[in-house]
Amino acid sequence: MKTKLIMVEGLPGFGKSTTSRMIHEILTERNIEATLVMEGDADHPADYEGTACLTEEEFGRLLQVAGPFKEILIERAAKKGSWYLLPYQKLKNEYEASMPDDLYHSLSKQDIYELPLDLNRRLITDRWETFAEQALHETTVVIFECCFIQNPVTVGMVKHDAPEEQVTDYVLGLEKTIRPLNPLLFYIEQNDLGYAFCKAIRERPEAWATGFVHYYIQQGYGKRHGLEGVEGTLQVLEARRQLEYSILDKLGLNKERINNSLYDQDTYKTMLINKLKLHGVIQ
Q: Which residues of 55-73 are buried (b: 16+ CB within 10 A; e: fewer)?
A: eeeebeebbeebeebeebb
Based on the fold, state whether residues 201 and 99 are members of the same structural domain.
no
Provide the mean pLDDT of the chain: 96
Same domain, 68 and 173: no
Per the structure, the count of domains in the chain is: 2
**Shared-domain flag, residues 185 and 91:** no
| 167 burial level (CB within 10 Å; 0-12, 13-18, 19+) | buried
State the number of CA atoms in the 13 A half-sphere of 215 facing the CB: 15
Q: Please tell me whether residues 146 and 190 are part of one structural domain.
A: yes
Give the pLDDT of residue 97: 81
Same domain, 70 and 146: no
Same domain as 266, residue 176: yes
90, 110, 130 — which closes off a domain?
110
Which of 110, 129, 160 is at the close of a domain?
A: 110
Q: Is residue 225 part of a domain?
A: yes
Question: Is there a single domain that holds both residue 27 and residue 80?
Answer: no
Verify that 128 and 180 share a domain, yes or no.
yes
Q: Within this chain, do residues 217 and 262 fall inside the same structural domain, yes or no?
A: yes
Residues of the chain with pLDDT under 50: none
Same domain, 132 and 106: no
Distance CA 46, CA 34 (A): 16
pLDDT confidence of residue 57: 96
**Based on the domain organization, do 98 and 139 belong to the same domain?**
no
For residue 247, is it within any domain? Answer: yes
In a domain, 283, yes or no: no
Instruction: Residue 180: give the domain boundaries.
Output: 5-46+117-278
CATH code of the domain containing 164: 3.40.50.300
Whether residue 274 is found in the same domain as residue 205: yes
Beta-strand ranges (E) seen in the chain are: 5-10, 34-37, 52-55, 78-80, 83-86, 141-145, 184-189, 254-259
